[in-house]
Every structure is written in C-alpha cells, then in structure tokens.
Amino acid sequence: MEEKEMMQRPDDNIWKIALALVCIGILGYGFFYSKNTTADLAYLIGLNLPLALIISCLFYAVVPKQRGAKIGGFSFLAIFICMIASGLIGYSQQKREAKQALSQIQHQYSEMIESSTDAQGLPKRIEQPINTTPKARGEFGEIERFTKECMDHMASQRNDCLLELEAIGWNSILDANRIKADKTFVESKTTIQKAKEVAIKYRNQTNTLLSNAKENIRSLNISESSKMKMLSSFDRGMEKAKKNIDAMWSLQDKTIKEFENIITLLSTRKGAWVVEGEQILFYNDSDLERFNSYIASIQNIVKQQEEIQRQSVRAVNRDFDRMKEMK
C-alpha cells in the first residue's frame, strides 16, 4: 500500500507543477510583453474572462489523469486571477515606461533650448547632438525615439539656417566698417535679398518637416489605437505650435525688412552720414531718428520672439509635467 501511494504522489503533483508554470508564464508576459494601459478592473475582467476559459480548458485537457471538477475550477480561478494580475502588472510597467520616455524627451528638449542661445541671449548653433536612443521599452520606447528624432531634425534644420545666414554675411550686415567699404551698397542689397531667400527656404522646410512627422507616425511600430491617439494629439498640439511657428517666421520677415530700411536709408542719403570708428554718425536729426526707429523696431521684434519662445517652453514643460502626473 505504501509503495502504491508513493507511486501516485508524482502524478498528483504534475497538474500543480503544470498550473504553476502556466501562471508564471502569464505573469511573466505581463511583466515583459503586456501593452495594457488601463487599471480598470471591469475592463480587465471582460477582456480576460473568455481567454481564461480557453486557457483553462486547454490546461484541463492536457492533464487527463487528474480530471475533476475541483481541479478544473481551481485551475480556471488561478489562471483567471493571474491574467488579471498580469494586466495590472502590464499597466504598471507601461506607466513606468511612459514616465521614463516623457522624462527623457523633456530632458533632451530642455538641453536643446538651453544650448540654442549664447550668454547674450543671441541665437547660436546647437552643438551637442540629440541622443535619439530610447531609454524606455516597447511602444513608449518607439514614441521616445520618434520624438527625439523629430527634435534632432529641427535642431539640424535650425543649425543649417544659421550657417547659411552666416555664410551670406548676415551677422555683419550693420557692421560700420563693412558699410563704409560697400560704396555702391550692392553687397548690402545682395545680402538682404539672400536673407529673404533663406527665410523662405527654411519656412518651407519647417512646414515639410511637420508634415512628414505626421506621416511618419503612421509607420511607427506601435498599435493602431496608439497611432490614432498619437495622431490626434499631434493635430491638437500643432494647432497652437503652428501659430507660434508662423508668428516667429513673420517676425523674422519683419526683421529683414527693418534691416532693408536701414540699408535703403544709408544708400539714399549718401553724404548725410559718416563712419567714425565703429559708429555711423548722422549730420541731421531727421536721419538719425529714422535710423534709431528702425533699430528700436528690430529690438522690439527680438523681444517678441524671445517672449514667444519663453511661452512655448513653459507650455511644453507644463504639458510634460501634466502627462507624467496622468501616467
């Protein structure tokens, strides 16, 4: 009798071991692979109940020696509970990955903004490349990579624009000694025209970049529901962002126009001013007032651009903080 009982004990434990392995597999899936983004218990019950019935039936079928209503019921209950737990684990993991992705994106964005101006607050090239390698995993890692790549494209485009302006001599357009040497003002007027062309070129490239970004969302390796949410968020965000972008380019056009007014004043009033040292001195107050009014207008435009950027940065960081709290 004892030998018979000893022979039966391993068989009695097979179903327990098998059930434990199934449950561990379900929980492991929740930890490593689940893309669940909700902790709604009613939703998880409705979603997992049919699948739990199927899995428990399959499990019950592969342990024929251990069939019985109690074993079947216990197996179903264990599998169902593990599937609910797996969903909650997946939600917790997705929440953690979402916060990781948002924090990384916000960090890169802050670094990009800080490195875009010099100590005097003047625009400069962004020297430090943006690290597009995602720290988050899964779908949020894909979203993190995509967003960082968009920022990298924007930074590269901005750098290229500044390089072209520098190449045409825009930074020295009002240099007094340069103006003194430009007797016919051909060089000055050519620079103004080239600056207009650069502005048009990069305004169009900015619009193309934004349009491509929306299309690229459709090719991301994420679920269709995530794509739809991302596209919807992109459209909402672009409503305000596009206004700021258009405002910045409009102000840039006005800046170029004011520089053009200065060159026109100097070229049409030859003999009414003189260069001494690093300054342009006018012989009459009327010309001086016009010149100063153009300079004041440029300074005012710069202040408007800086304010738009400050408001944009505050809004972006506020949105990042709000999303991290929601996650």
Per domain, the residue ranges of the chain are 2-95
pLDDT at 112 over 50: yes
CA distance 308 to 248: 8
Residue 10's pLDDT band, with cuts at 50, 70 and 90, is low
Non-local (6+) Cβ contacts of 310 within 8 A are none
pLDDT at 111 over 50: yes
For the stretch 124-133, pLDDT in tens is 888 888 889 9
Residue 69's pLDDT band, with cuts at 50, 70 and 90, is low
- Coil, helix or strand at residue 284: coil
